[in-house]
Amino acid sequence: MSSTAYPAPKTSSDRIRDALYRKIAWHIMPILVIGYIIAYIDRVNVSFAKLQMLGDLKFSDSVYGVGAGIFFLGYFAFEIPSNIMLHKVGARVWICRVIVTWGIISALTALVRTPMQFYTARLLLGVAEAGFFPGMILYLTYWFPAHRRAAMVALLMAGNPVSGIIGGPLSGYIMQHFACSKGMAGWQWLFILEAIPAILLGVVIFFFLDNRVVEAKWLSEPERAAVASEIHEEAVSKTHVSIRSVFTSPHVWLFGAIFFGMEMGSYAIGFWQPTIIRQTGVKDAFHIGMLTTVPYTCALICMMFVGRHSDRTRERRWHIIVPNIVTAIGFILCTQAGSNTSIAMFGLVLAVAGVITGLAMFWALPTSFLGGSAAAAGIALINCTGNLGGFFSPAIIGFLKTRTGTLNSGLFLVAACMIASSVLILTLTPAKSSTFQPTGAEI
């Protein structure tokens, strides 16, 4: 007899609760997704600027790699304080501050002329943006219980592939059609024009985002009470109960290590995908931008399907492991493409769809056992530790490309990192979050 477990039929109470959470999702998720789209475009549009910027400013691939990655050193230093501030003062004010300041700094990147100015601009952009994504993950814990959160995180992270679908053609168009307009290069216009939506969104968030469920006037009193009660009951049942426990928890550091390997792959895509396509012989910036929409479109479909399947089965580990392995295969295919654009694009489809899907599923693991103020610090610590991969990935790949003239050795390295993260998940992460038990260091 099959041992497969099927979910019990839903009661009328279940359907009412589902409708309530759909109502919440429709109200808050659009603005969060738009914010993530804008954030990711402003973070990685330097990968398109590189196509003109390096020639204009006489930068090497190594200088570009360090500049692209140094963003994450500023991010690392200020991410935990930023997330704790969000928890204390509320998402409305703090996220507004984050978005407006990063928009201003992103626009000022158009003025850089030397490697040190480039490094400084990228470092300050990381400081400004620190706390935005982990803040969004934390914000979701205020509105959705754990068993509903994977689909919401997947929806939020849909901003990543959507930013690629929108940002690639937009960046290529700006660089091609605004080049030399009013005495500025196309890459300068890129930074200026793509920063404007961030500043405008910051104002929108200040006026329209509710901090928590109890402030949501668009919900009835019984609806607010039902959601607040479910969130509170789940929070008090979490393993971690203090901020100090987060920094001494081996589980938090384990998740940071897993996330590090996955981010190595993510930012190999974010900062080098246009270069991978160009080295196959595609030279026009707009055509490169159009080609980048293909992997991101496939990624958007995959992550939404896998997110729903993960929530339905309430299984997390293999929904991360399999996409990680697919990503590694994609990077390896890219190393074999040579001048064949079709092979490179197939490899990029696998790599982009795999890494974006895996990252969306990843956050269901740590948020399933972190609660309260520990969630603010824990999510930020995991994210900033993992995001160091965002520094090392472009920096190492840029260094290796400068030395070898090819991206292949760097792509093999990030493929190995994806496999290593899968091994850590399989061997050290329990199948159920309930098997995480507090140790003396975690009390």
Question: Quick one: average pLDDT of 276-304?
Answer: 91
Residue 230 pLDDT > 90: no
pLDDT of residue 132: 85
pLDDT-derived band of residue 134, with 50, 70 and 90 as boundaries?
confident
Where does residue 418 rank: exposed (0-12), middle (13-18), buried (19+ CB within 10 A)? buried
Mean pLDDT of 180-188: 89
**Alpha-carbon distance 96 to 257, whole Å?**
30
- 200's CB contacts (< 8 A; 6+ apart) are none
Q: What is the pLDDT of residue 61?
A: 92
CB 247 within 8 Å of CB 370? no
Q: Half-sphere exposure (CA, 13 Å, Cβ side) for 178?
A: 19
Q: Is-contact 112 78, C-beta < 8 A?
A: no
Q: Tell me what pLDDT residue 438 has.
A: 37
Which pLDDT belongs to residue 4?
44
**pLDDT tens profile 39-63:** 888 888 999 999 899 999 999 999 9
- Dihedral angle computed from the Cα positions of residues 69, 73, 75 and 80, in that order, rounded to the nearest 10 degrees: 150
Q: How confident is the model at residue 371 (pLDDT cuts 50, 70, 90)?
A: low
* Residue 414 amino acid letter: V
| The model's pTM | 0.77
**In this predicted structure, what is the pLDDT of residue 1?**
42
Lowest mean pLDDT among 58-72, 139-153, 162-176, 185-199: 139-153
| Residue 126 CA to its chain's centroid (Å) | 14
Residues found in the chain:
443
Q: Give the mean model confidence (pLDDT) for residues 360-380.
A: 71
Query: If we measure between CA atoms, which residue out of 259, 267, 301 comes closest to residue 165?
Result: 301
The answer to whether 173 touches 10, Cβ cutoff 8 Å, is: no
The whole-chain average pLDDT of the chain stands at 86
**Among residues of the chain, what percentage have pLDDT more than 70?**
90
SS (H, E, C) 120-182: HHHHHHHHHHCCHHHHHHHHHHCCCCHHHHHHHHHHHHCHHHHHHHHHHHHHHHHHHHCCCHH
C-alpha 415/C-alpha 332 separation (Å) is: 7
Closest CA to 154 of 374, 322, 375, 303: 303
Task: Give the residue, 248 or 412, on which the prediction is more confident.
Answer: 412
Place of tokens 């910051």: 202
Q: At CA 442, angle to CA 438 and CA 443, rounded to 5?
A: 85
**Looking at this protein, which amino acid is placed at residue 75?**
Y
Residue that the structure tokens 């589980």 belong to:
251
SS3 317: coil
Right CATH for 15-442 from 3.30.365.10, 1.20.1250.20, 3.90.700.10, 2.60.40.10: 1.20.1250.20
Summarize pLDDT for 390-431 with one digit per residue, the tens.
Answer: 899 999 999 999 999 899 999 999 999 999 999 999 998 876
What's the pLDDT band for 437 if we cut at 50, 70, 90? very low
**Domain locations along the chain:** 15-442
What pLDDT, on a 0 to 100 scale, did the predictor assign at position 92?
Answer: 87
Whether the pLDDT of residue 204 is over 60: the answer is yes
Phi, psi of 35 (to 5 degrees): -60, -40
Whole-number Cα distances in Å, 433 to 1, 163, 251 = 28, 32, 11
